[in-house]
Chains A and B, each alone.
Chain A
Amino acid sequence: MQHPRSYRLKFPEPVPSEADSGFPGSSATPSVLRVRPASPPPKGPGEQPALALESRELWIAAHVPQLSLLALRAAAPAGSSARSSLIVVDPEHQQRVIDADAAARAAGVRLGMTLGAALAAAPGIEARPRDVVRERELMQRLVGIAATFTPQVSIESPDGLLLEIRPSITLFGGLRELCRRLRDACRADPLFGQADAAPHFTLAPTTLAALVAARAGARCFITDAAVLPARLKPLPLTALRWPEEQNARLTAMGVRTLGELMRLPRAGFARRFGPAMLADLDRLLGRRADPRARLVRRERYRGVCDLDHEIEDHEHILQALAPLLAELETFLRARQRGITALQCRFHHYRAAPTHCTLRLAAPEASAERFTGLLRERLATLTLPGPVRRCELRGGALTHRAITSKPLWSPGERGHASAGEMPALVEHLRARLGNTAVYGIERVAAHRPENAWRVAEPALGGTDTANNPGGAFRRPLWLLGAAQPLEAQRGRPRHDGPLELLAGPERIESGWWDGADVRRDYYVAGDRHGVRLWIYRDMETKRWFLHGIFG
């Protein structure tokens, strides 16, 4: 509840005879929506007819009525503070009460009160700040349930959820069947199945209409956009969640319901309240498109296994991990995805948990591969004590190319399988570390030490089109650091006098980055027949060995 203004629905008795006015399967909440008999066409912002074309979307909104309360309850251990009455205050919002449980409400606490006023009304209550992170987690949980019905799910922060279900209707055997299943799925959930936590569902052709009805706790099952204005009329203005001052202005004008709002003249309304609010109203009635971004769930695998007894042996740890790895494989295969990182945590009795992270060069989903890599990694790992608990966390899911098994084994008839190449890199890295295995690439620079760099091993296709570099005479080996050479009468020596065979080649570069070089490079031969690449530093006139030819 963002707006602390409380309202009471003052509507006549529920109308049980209306067959389609309630969300199928919903419990007997009082119906506050009913179709009014044909009234004279409204003259206000609602006067134009709804979209002429048939609405192509159908939205279900789910509203969790007391989300912030639920979040605090769910976070607390069961039964710890069930007795005392609880209120939730918003520290961002001058410590005002944003939610209160039934006992606190009975004691006179109203939403929007300051904390001081609430404590004065009911001294024994417990006030807690809202837990936004936990609230978000709860909504994510609800998304998890909703996403089995449609991929188009979005969270309407903080406590609303929107599902576009038009494309799923046929699949689930009709609209009513789909709604029933959705409700049953929520009831089956241990958290949202509780009586006071059950989300309120509504169905409408526009997102805002569904949301507004859900927030107002109204029964709403509308598929026809043409009846929207009539059906939304009795709903309170606050359900739109407009800024509080605008609501106050409208209330001062005598506007309390959406019906009264729709009667206001369009031009005057826009002049007084700005085009944004008029646009909201247009969206509400389906006169303006209201696209929602699809929520992409961030899915991760996490598995824990508690061991019956402490184990130290690597093979036994691997055996204990085997069911988790099998589960991970099923998880990934079901989604046709792979992971490129896998973290293992081994919990010990006394020491801090040991972490080990596997990084894979290409997305992978096979338990066998993970086991092989873990075996290598475990061999390099020293555990501070016996393991009593293993935890497995998969990284972000990535697209995995699914290939069929090749007919030929790699190397046979010039065949190379795509899978083996990243596998080798991962295998070596698991044992030797990430930096020990690398590729190289050329850099267009004159200084030899800058003319190459370490690169990630290329896993893509070969770029065979690249032209060989210049015909400069360059050694195949480069020394990590140039090695100073002795000199005798100006002639360099390296295990005997050196014979200069070619050169000099002047390389003068780098004045701009502080690593200024001025060197004359020569090819030199030593008395053993080894060809060396040496240079004379022009500043110090000293000789250095920088490379070996073959």
Chain B
Amino acid sequence: MPAANDRQLQELLAHPSVWRGRSRAAVETLPTGFAALDAGLPGGGWPRHGLVEILTPRPGVGELYLLLPALAALSRATPARWCTWVSPPHQPFAPALEAHGAALDRMLMVNTHLPLWAHEQALRSGACGIALAWLPRASPRAIRRLQLAAEQGRALGVLYRSERFAHLASPAMLRVLLEPLNQDGRHGARLRLLKSRGGSREPIDITWTAAAA
């Protein structure tokens, strides 16, 4: 009897919606494309449904390279849903995206003065596999809405913000602080998981792949 109870308990605990303090909850994940990061993240990759917040000291330090493998994989999945870019800071360069394996016809650009609304709509619609957004400011309440929308629409929401907001509480499922790492010809980044359900506490160093150079 105790054995049966134990098995039932394990089954119950393995349910994605159950999360225990220090354990790694079972979440549906997507490989990040970086082995070191996969090892550090709960479930071995980006959550498939949920909000990820990426904080950077300044734009252009590799925050897009971090998501590119996932973006390429989602855009080439069958059936592929939209990969939405909400108010990107510059124009995403189509030849480079294609060279990194992303399918351009799944990319949907949204230039708007209402990024929060557009991001929420994109996440909630169920039509997006991934939605990236660059928000100048977002209140914890707004982020909570985005997190719920991402879960409801079964989409991976990515929020790019400045590291100035790192000390603020955030309801996002995963928070990653990214710092550029340029040492002895190595072009990469050091990642710290500010918030994760059972992820690594140590900083994770990754190198951008040769294509990114």
Q: What residues make up the interface of A, taking CB atoms closer than 8 Å to B?
A: 409-412, 414-417, 420-421, 423-425, 427-428, 431-432, 436-443, 448, 451-452, 457-458, 462-464, 466, 468-480, 502, 523, 525, 528-532, 547-550
In the complex, the answer to whether B212 meets A478 with C-beta atoms within 8 Å is no
Given known A-B contacts A530-B61, A547-B93, A550-B60, A441 and B153 have beta carbons under 8 A apart: no
Q: Which of B58, B61, B79, B122 contacts A416 (CB 8 A)?
A: B79
In the complex, the answer to whether B118 meets A428 with C-beta atoms within 8 Å is yes
Report the Cα distance A414→B155, complex, angstroms.
11
Given known A-B contacts A442-B104, A462-B80, A464-B103, A531 and B60 have beta carbons under 8 A apart: yes
Residues in B neighbouring A410, C-beta threshold 8 A: 81, 126-127, 153-154
In the complex, the answer to whether A477 meets B93 with C-beta atoms within 8 Å is yes
Q: List 17 A-B contacts (CB under 8 A).
A: A411-B154, A416-B127, A420-B126, A421-B81, A424-B82, A436-B110, A437-B108, A437-B109, A457-B82, A457-B108, A462-B105, A477-B91, A478-B92, A523-B213, A528-B58, A530-B58, A550-B208
In the complex, the answer to whether A427 meets B103 with C-beta atoms within 8 Å is no
Residues in B neighbouring A462, C-beta threshold 8 A: 75-76, 78-80, 103, 105-106
Q: What is the distance, in angstroms, from B195's C-beta to the closest C-beta of chain A?
A: 23
- Tell me if B69 is interfacial: C-beta within 8 Å of chain A: no
Closest to B188 in A: A529
Interface segment, one of B16-24, B179-187, B197-205: B179-187
Closest to B150 in A: A411
Report the Cα distance A469→B102, complex, angstroms.
11
Q: Which of A412, A448, A463, A468 contacts B93 (CB 8 A)?
A: A448
Q: What is the distance, in angstroms, from B90's C-beta to the closest C-beta of chain A?
A: 4
In the complex, the answer to whether B110 meets A428 with C-beta atoms within 8 Å is yes
Q: Sorted from nearest, which 6 A-B pairs have the closest CB atoms?
A: A411-B154, A529-B180, A452-B94, A410-B126, A458-B105, A420-B127
Residues in A neighbouring B82, C-beta threshold 8 A: 421, 424, 457
Closest to B155 in A: A411
Given known A-B contacts A415-B79, A420-B125, A464-B103, A477 and B60 have beta carbons under 8 A apart: yes
- Tell me if B148 is interfacial: C-beta within 8 Å of chain A: no
Closest to B182 in A: A529
- Tell me if B112 is interfacial: C-beta within 8 Å of chain A: yes
- Tell me if B64 is interfacial: C-beta within 8 Å of chain A: yes
Residues in B neighbouring A438, C-beta threshold 8 A: 108-109
Given known A-B contacts A441-B104, A462-B103, A463-B103, A469 and B95 have beta carbons under 8 A apart: yes
Report the Cα distance A457→B48, complex, angstroms.
23
Report the Cα distance A528→B117, complex, angstroms.
32
Given known A-B contacts A420-B125, A548-B60, A436 and B108 have beta carbons under 8 A apart: no
In the complex, the answer to whether B91 meets A478 with C-beta atoms within 8 Å is yes
In the complex, the answer to whether B108 meets A550 with C-beta atoms within 8 Å is no
In the complex, the answer to whether A409 meets B126 with C-beta atoms within 8 Å is yes
Residues in B neighbouring A531, C-beta threshold 8 A: 60, 187
15 A-B pairs besides A420-B125, A528-B57, A550-B61 with CB distance below 8 A are A410-B154, A411-B49, A411-B129, A411-B155, A412-B154, A416-B127, A424-B127, A437-B109, A437-B110, A466-B103, A472-B99, A475-B96, A476-B97, A479-B90, A530-B60
